[in-house]
Amino acid sequence: YQKTLEDFRIEEQQSLSTKQLNQLRELTWLEQAYNLILLGPPGVGKTHLAIGLGIEAIYRGYKVMFLAMGALVRALNTQDITRKSQTIVKRLLNSDLVIIDDIMYMAMDQQEANLFFHFINQLYDRTSIVFTSNKGPEEWGELIGDPGITTAILDRIIHRVEVIHLNGDSYRMKNRSTIFGSISVHE
């Protein structure tokens, strides 16, 4: 989806100031290979903000890739057997900014956790990663399964990270449309 920072409704997000949004827009964190973790419940603008930052980075000449966590795991799992997955992984590894949407939305088996660790390790200290998640890093271990791999992944991600907590009501629910016009569903 084409979601720009100009379209981001900062007034809907009490936990992020205009000043902080402008600091993110400057992309100094990207130049310094910092990671961002955008945390919060569904519908508060995590993905919109991540995409907006990615588009801003593209405008400034950075190579950016966006992938949902499920698609990333599929690409990592099948990179040895499909050319499409090989191409996706190669592009991810050659990016300046990788955006992983809905990280830890699904549990990983041991092989997937290993692949994810090696992927993060290859990006470590040279590529910025933006993660969106409704679970904090302290909860990621239950989905990765292996405590050792979880610690190694988090060690690399959190070494240089800014965690941004977004909160509030779901924008989708507040602004949902209905096929019944102005008639309430409860009537």
- Beta bridge partners of residue 37, listed in sequence order: 131, 163
Q: In percent, how much of the chain has pLDDT > 70?
A: 89
Cβ neighbours around 45 below 10 Å, total? 22
- Tens digit of each residue's pLDDT (9 = 90 or more) over 61-107: 999 999 999 999 999 999 999 999 999 999 999 999 999 999 877 78
What percent of the chain shows pLDDT beyond 90? 65
Average pLDDT over residues 119-136: 95
Band (pLDDT 50/70/90 cuts) for residue 169 is low
Q: How far apart are CA 187 and CA 185, in angstroms?
A: 6
pTM summary value: 0.87
CA distances to 22, 72, 74 from 69, rounded to whole Å, are 27, 5, 9
Give the mean pLDDT of the chain.
88
Domain boundaries, the chain: 10-174
Report the CATH architecture of 10-174.
3-Layer(aba) Sandwich (3.40)
Which pLDDT value is given to residue 173?
Answer: 43
The per-residue pLDDT for 19 is: 94
Mean pLDDT, range 129-139, rounded to an integer: 91
Residue 104's pLDDT is what? 73
- In whole angstroms, give the CA distance from residue 22 to residue 26: 6
